[in-house]
Structure 1
Amino acid sequence: MSSHRVRTAPPAPQERETEQGSAAVAQVPRQLPTAEPRPGGRAQARRAARRKKVTERPEGLRKLVPQALVVAFLAGGTSAFIAEDKAVELSVDGTPRTLHTFADDVGELMAAEGLAVGDHDIVAPAPGTALASGDEVVVRYGRPVQLTLDGERRKVWTTAHTVDGALRQLGVRAEGAYLSASRSRRIERDGLELDVRTERTVTVMADGRERTIRTNAATVREAVEEAGVSLRGQDTTSVPPGSFPRDGQTVTVMRITGTKEVREEPIAFDVQKTQDASLYRGTEVVVRPGRQGAKRVTYALRTVNGVKQKPKRIGSEVVREPETQIVKVGTKQLPDSVHGADHLDWGSLAQCESGGRPGATDASGTYGGLYQFDTSTWQSLGGSGRPQDAPASEQTYRAKKLYVQRGASPWPHCGGRLH
């Protein structure tokens, strides 16, 4: 450690003079005071006044130092205050204003100004960018636009303030296009609906001629009319007339003439079958014949560009209801044999009479079945309906009964085949 020497200050002049004075007093005899001061007394008084002034000066300095410190502190604080204040220009949706702020970055400035932004809004510079005096901050709010572009509807967002600016921002070619709102129309924060139909090339084929036009029509019908072609009566187009005409599309006009035709058509009857134990199995008897119904059907007959089309049914009306046919179906078991006729060669007789075909009939239609029964003989033997409609086993059974009654005479040409 370094030692510090303490110096003793030489005595002040006042102290030296005092010491000298004390010595003088000790050496000079005491004198009584006189009424008149001596001249040397005034000089001493001046010296005493100077000594007093010197003594009071450090005390005044001690009072001035704190005041100076306070002033210096205040001066430094003011400098810092001025340094934090920033003058920036804030533009919101194209409206600029200059303001003073203590915000450190763009995000703090936005919060201080109460500006909330969403996904479709733009802030430049970005919210985290530091701020300096003289900076410019731009805020543009997104606006929803219900855009129908060439027949296709969708929702888009734009920060443009006018229709013209939105079209440029969205990259929509507006030259020659139809716009449902003027280009100068302002887009408010709540947005707007905008219909845009760009100019397209459409070819119309009609009456053997081809017409190509440039159009921004909303429907095929409008495009056809712009091409100078009229649709009359039942005329139509190859694509729906109300559809949107696409660029490069070819539309064919179909000239249609049509009439109506009414035709009477039958309605088939139903067949209702019931079982009957009195009839042999395989036998069916028609109790009530069915009757067909009738209906009137209306057809549309069209000719398209001179070519007849397939008739189209457009209406129907029942004229007469059909009647159900009722049939009895036998369930009775057929006997296995007929006494006196079982030993005969019925197969040879059938082959001779009908070629062995149960449903065979002669040329006149009078005789039918394996054994060529006439209907009256068949029914006299207990058969029902026509013999050719009965099962082969029943036909053989009835033939045996007939043989028992009349022998081989019912078959004059083939009867000999039985033996």
Structure 2
Amino acid sequence: MSETQGSHRRAPWPDTAPGPDPHDAPSAGPYAGPHDAAPHEEAYAAPYADPYGAAAPEPQVPAPRGEGRRAARRRAAAPAGGRRRTTAEPPPTPPPPAPAPGAGSGRRRRSGAAPAPAPAGRAAAPGRDSWRRIVPQALVVAFLAGGTTAFVAADKAVRLTVDGVPRTLHTFAGSVDELLASQGLGVGPHDLVAPAPGSALDDGQQIVVRYGRPLRLTLDGTTRQVWTTARTVDGALRQLGVRVEGAYLSTPRTATVPRSGLTLGVRTERGVTFMADGRERTIRTNAATVKEALDQAGITLHGQDTTSVPPDSFPRDGQTVTVLRITGTREVREERIPYETERVEDDGLFAGTEVVERVGRPGARRVTYALRTVNGVRQQPRKIAEEVVREPVSQRVLVGTKALPTSVAGADGLNWAGLAQCESGGRPSATDPSGTYGGLYQFDVSTWQALGGSGRPQDAPASEQTYRAKKLYVQRGASPWPHCGRRLER
């Protein structure tokens, strides 16, 4: 059963019959409504003591418009602080406000009944407890506010572009290299980072990263390894300062240069001059060989025609190439092959004596020559083939090694030194002005060889010359020396 029914008794009214009381009427104040009680009646809504020990019934508070009776009773029973009242701890009874003049309570209380006194100590407690609760809360709020401010100040919004792909991100990094490390972006010596990795990082800053790419570039026949941060072939060539207008590219200009690298061949446009048939022609070409550039110039080679530089060489810028018109024939000639002389020592012959044992015979060969005329000028013949027709036969000569005799009967004891002094001045290698006579005793070659000598007398040793002179004296006397022969007798 509810608190407002059954078990509560209403306090008796005074003996006098109730009459109409002007204070029973609802107040017409600003908070009054057709179904509302007067504002001052709420102050007496709490129960009061009954002289017979029974609690006074709770006043019936009219429900606001649109509110049920149960909700109205719950609202009337609720304490002023909004907490629900329990039977264990009755809420303190607020002191009754001073009644307004002429205003009644609407109901008379029984004489002698007084409102319940307020609990002791409740008046001073709210101020002290409030400060105890407010100060820690204020400190926590201030700490959280300061941390939030520092957190917001350290956060930066930056725009990072990696190989042309932009993105906006938030970071607490203080420098560019810290940002790259936090994003897992490693950079090397060939990569481009702007601003530099050690630069400070500010809010709203733009950071650009371009990775280096290896490029094996063959430019006009010369190969080298280079690095580029461009992502296309066209950008790489422009970054390297290579003129691409009119150039031949092994890879299209719009092709992508991957991170792993690319092999690229480039032939720039060059000016080449050809001199052919008495005319000069200059063309712009990106040809790989002189022969290809020659075809672009409309010049044709016939037969043995060629150019002043190898036709398969690379044409350089500003180069002049002469076309050689060649006509030629072949000529076959017979040529002699000389024989060799073989000298064999023979101890049966005196020293200085040589005998031809086998006569040598020359050989023969057939040689083919190419005769060329270049641009009307005859060139020196060029041997292009040869064939041996007859092999040569070597000559065999026996050379004596037997010691010569020291004396010749009938010639020893003569003044051979005086004769030599008169004929040659005592010089074994002496030769007369005509070249006919030579040696100590001025032999002619025929007389010398008839006496068993070989070669020329002035080439033989002095002892051999004296020996041959003694033999000549035994055969013919002093007549071979008509002017100096008389010296032998002295």
Whether these two folds match at TM > 0.5 is yes
- Aligned pair partner of 2:213 in 106, 128, 143: 143
Task: Please tell me whether residue 284 in structure 1 is matched to residue 354 in structure 2.
Answer: yes
* Structure 1 residue 373 displacement after superposition: 5.0
| Alpha-carbon distance in structure 1 between the residues aligned to 2:389 and 2:198 | 87
Inter-partner Cα distance in structure 1 for 2:448 and 2:265: 87
Give 1:71's aligned residue.
Answer: 141
Amino acid at match of 2:473: K
- SS of 2:235's partner is helix
Counterpart secondary structure, 2:239: helix
Alignment of 1:17-166 (within 5 A): 45-46=117-118, 49=120, 51-55=121-125, 57-166=127-236
Alignment correspondent of 1:225: 295
Secondary structure at the residue paired with 2:383? strand
The structure with higher relative contact order (CA 8 Å, sep 6+) is 1
SS at 2:124's partner residue? helix
Query: 1:356 & 1:40 partners in 2: Cα distance?
Result: 192
CA drift at 1:70:
2.4
Distance 1:60 1:320, change over 3 A: same
Q: CA deviation at 1:220?
A: 1.5
- Are residues 287 and 186 of structure 1, via their aligned partners in 2, closer, same or farther at CA, if it must alter by over 3 Å? same
Look up the equivalent residue of 1:95 and give its one-letter code. V
Q: Distance in 2 between matches of 1:120 and 1:152?
A: 22
Give how far 1:399 is off: 2.1
Report whether the alignment pairs 1:400 with 2:470: no
User: Are 1:264 and 1:294, in contact at CA under 8 Å, matched by a contact in 2?
Assistant: yes
Q: Partners in 1 of 2:210 and 2:217 — Cα distance?
A: 20
User: Structure 1 regions of 5+ residues with no counterpart?
Assistant: 1-34, 362-368
User: Equivalent pairs: percent with the same residue?
Assistant: 57
Q: How many residues align?
A: 363
1:188-222 alpha-carbon deviations (Å, 9 max, x no partner):
11222222222222221111111122222222112
Change (3 A) 1:64 1:373: closer
Q: Counterpart of 1:329 in 2: which secondary structure? A: strand
Contact in 2 for aligned 1:282/1:390 (Cα 8 Å) = no
Distance (Å, rounded) in 1 between the aligned partners of 2:456 and 2:161: 109
1:249-398 matched pairs, under 5 angstroms? 249-341=319-411, 343=414, 360=436, 370=444, 373=447, 378=450, 383=452, 391=460, 392-393=465-466, 395-398=468-471
Partner SS state of residue 213, structure 1: strand
Q: Distance in 1 between matches of 2:455 and 2:116?
A: 183
Separation in 1 of the partners of 2:485 and 2:199? 123
User: Could you say if the C-alpha distance between residues 107 and 357 of structure 1 is closer, same or farther in structure 2, counting changes exceeding 3 Å?
Assistant: closer
Cα deviation, 1:99-133, whole Å, max 9, x if unaligned, reads 11111111001111111111221111111111122
Q: Is the 8 A contact 2:163 2:210 kept in 1?
A: yes
Q: 1:67-101: CA deviations, max 9, x gaps?
A: 33223322322232222222111100000111111
CA contact (8 A) 2:407 2:467 kept: no
Deviation per residue, 1:136-169 (Å, 9 max, x gap): 1110112222222222222222212212222222
Rg (Cα) greater in structure: 2
Contiguous gaps of at least 5 residues in structure 2: 1-50, 54-110, 425-430, 438-442
Distance in 2 (alpha carbons) for counterparts of 1:63 and 1:356: 150
Q: Distance between the aligned counterparts of 1:44 and 1:335, measured in 2?
A: 184
Tell me which moved more, 200-209 or 326-335: 326-335
Q: Against the structure 1 CA distance between its residues 75 and 133, is the aligned structure 2 distance closer, same or farther, given a 3 Å change threshold? A: same
Q: 1:416 to 1:92 in 2, by over 3 A?
A: closer
Shift of 1:273: 2.4
Q: Per-residue CA shift, 1:290-337, capped at 9, x if unaligned?
A: 333344433332221121212223344444443333222223333344
Is the strand fraction higher in 1 or 2? 1
Query: Deviation digits for residues 27-60 of structure 1, max 9, x if unmatched?
Result: xxxxxxxx999x99968934x54x4231354135
Aligned-partner residue type, residue 117 of structure 2: A
Aligned mates of 2:294, 2:436 — CA distance in 1: 69
More deviation, 307-316/260-269: 260-269
Structure 2-normalised TM-score?
0.63
Deviations 1:210-263 (A, max 9, x none): 112222222211222222111122211112222222222221101112333333
Larger CA deviation: 314-323 vs 165-174: 314-323
1:172 aligns with 2:242: yes
Q: 1:44 to 1:386 in 2, by over 3 A?
A: closer
For residues 301 and 120 of structure 1, the distance between their equivalents in structure 2, rounded to whole angstroms, comes to 61
Separation in structure 1 between the aligned mates of residue 127 and residue 231 of structure 2, nearest angstrom: 75
Give me the whole-angstrom Cα distance separating, in 2, the residues matched to 1:387 and 1:154.
72
| Aligned CA distance change for structure 1 residues 339 and 140 (closer, same or farther; 3 Å) | same
Contact 2:270–2:285 (CA under 8 A) maintained in structure 1:
yes
Between Structure 1 and Structure 2, the one with more helix by share is: 1
